[in-house]
Amino acid sequence: MFNRVPKYQKKEKEKSRSERKLSDDQPKNLKLLALLFTFFLIFLTFEIPFLINNCLIQIFPDIHPVFSPDEIEVFINGVRPIGYICLIIIVIFIIIGFLIKKEKISVSSSFLLFLPTFGSFGWSMFFLAGIGILEVVWLPLDTPYFNFLTLGIIVFIPVYLLVYLFYLGPIGFIIIVILPWIFMILGLYIFTSGVISWFYGKYQKRDIIEFSIYKYSRHPQYLGFLIWSYGLFVHYMNLELIYMPAGKIGLEASLPWVIFALIIVGIAFLEDINLSKKYPDKYAEYRKRTPFLIKLPKTLNLIASFPLRYILKKNFPETNKDILKVVIFYGMIIIILSLLILLMFPTFYQ
């Protein structure tokens, strides 16, 4: 006689197979959802500034720099105090966010410092016209004696090297036009993959999210945000190169991006510390097999992490003071290297 499997056991097996299949399909579903959101966010990245510019151009009209230089000077002198007020408020909120341990306040404020980059999408002769009025925040850093906005220029050396490709013919032109789009799409895809995976993990009530894109980066949202913003800035510089090749009318704003990036990294370190305290064993194991932001070749990783090990004498920051030391130290390295480049090649960024 053959042993018959009871019906309830068959149903349990079928249910188990169905659940496994659903679980196997989840990464594919998350990737597809992230891809759809990526294209949606790319659309918003350019459409929203365009719509805002159409409204603001009525309030802050374009001024021709050749025909109306006096009008431009009067306008800049008039709005410069507003720039000081805005810049001071942003810096205060960044500091407050760290002091009261509200990461969202610091991240949001640092993004406001980066936000004027969108002003380049006005494509106006006068950089403060239309949506370009956002760049008023950067005006206090561009003094008659020195443009402090350029003190992060070291991070954009690859961009300036690519500028030379522009003069090598159609191939060079295609490369520098496509490259920022690659950065922006890749960054937004990583960002949305991280956000969607995080929500799905929280829905499953997991202590630590370690599946999907979290297998390759402990902080994919921040990584994606940085890559997207870098691509956006490269696109901004391309606009200056293509539409204003005879001379730069806008502001060279590498320092705001550096400050923005350092704050993002500092917040990511803070999350590492909090999760290590909350789940010491689980997170220690997860940190061993997953890189902080992105996996680097061993030699490059040793070079990049040397300052961290040099000032802390350990592999990871363990307190808020440690994070502050690391952020300031890396910031000073970037500023010093940028200053050396500007002193050695005074016209490098023009």
**230-240 per-position pLDDT tens digit:** 988 888 777 66
Per-residue pLDDT, averaged over 192-212, amounts to 86
Q: For residue 6, tell me if it sits in a domain.
A: no
Report how many domains make up the chain.
1
Residue 121 or residue 229, greater confidence: 229
> In which residue are the tokens 């070749």 written?
297
8 pLDDT band (50/70/90 cuts)? very low
Q: For residue 323, tell me if it sits in a domain.
A: yes
DSSP string, 20-51: HHHHHHHHHHHHHHHHHHHHHHHHHHHHHHHH
Q: For residue 17, tell me if it sits in a domain.
A: no
- Tokens at residue 30, please? 């998350």
In this prediction, residue 15 carries a pLDDT of: 44
In this prediction, residue 242 carries a pLDDT of: 59
Q: For residue 130, tell me if it sits in a domain.
A: yes
Q: For residue 107, tell me if it sits in a domain.
A: yes
CA distances from 18 to 14, 25, 29, 34, 69 (A): 6, 11, 16, 24, 71
Q: For residue 22, tell me if it sits in a domain.
A: no
Calpha distance 32→200 (Å, rounded): 14
Phi, psi of 142 (to 5 degrees): -105, 85
Calpha distance 138→135 (Å, rounded): 5
Per-residue pLDDT, averaged over 289-309, amounts to 82
Give yes or no for residue 7 having a pLDDT over 60.
no
Beta bridge partners of 147: 142
Q: For residue 173, tell me if it sits in a domain.
A: yes
In this prediction, residue 167 carries a pLDDT of: 67
348 pLDDT band (50/70/90 cuts)? low
CA distances from 180 to 130, 131, 302 (A): 23, 21, 28
- Tokens at residue 23, please? 């679980």
Q: State pTM to two decimals.
A: 0.83
DSSP, collapsed to helix, strand or coil, labels residue 3 as coil
Domain boundaries, position 62: 27-344
Burial class (CB in 10 A: 0-12, 13-18, 19+), 276: middle
In this prediction, residue 1 carries a pLDDT of: 45
Q: Where are the alpha helices (DSSP H) in 204-319?
A: 220-243, 254-278, 280-289, 298-312
Give yes or no for residue 287 having a pLDDT over 70.
yes
How far does CA 204 lie from the centroid of its chain?
29
Contacts 24+ apart (CB under 8 A), 224-227: 224/186, 224/187, 224/188, 224/189, 224/190, 224/191, 224/192, 224/193, 224/194, 225/187, 225/191, 225/264, 226/187, 226/261, 226/264, 226/293, 227/183, 227/184, 227/186, 227/187, 227/190
Q: For residue 2, tell me if it sits in a domain.
A: no
Calpha distance 270→265 (Å, rounded): 9
Calpha distance 324→46 (Å, rounded): 34
CA distances from 113 to 8, 74, 158, 256, 259 (A): 62, 24, 23, 6, 8
To the nearest whole number, what is the mean pLDDT of the chain?
A: 81
Give yes or no for residue 262 having a pLDDT over 80.
yes
Phi, psi of 147 (to 5 degrees): -95, 95
DSSP string, 103-148: HHHHHHHHHHHHGGGGGGGG--SSTTSGGGGGGGGGGGGB-SS-BG
Per-residue pLDDT, averaged over 210-218, amounts to 89
Q: Which of 83-97, 240-254, 288-302 has the lowest mean pLDDT?
A: 240-254
Largest CA distance in the chain: 103
Per-residue pLDDT, averaged over 143-162, amounts to 83
Q: Which of 93-107, 206-220, 254-268, 274-288 has the lowest mean pLDDT?
A: 93-107
Q: Tens digit of pLDDT for each residue in 312-333?
A: 887 788 888 888 888 889 999 9
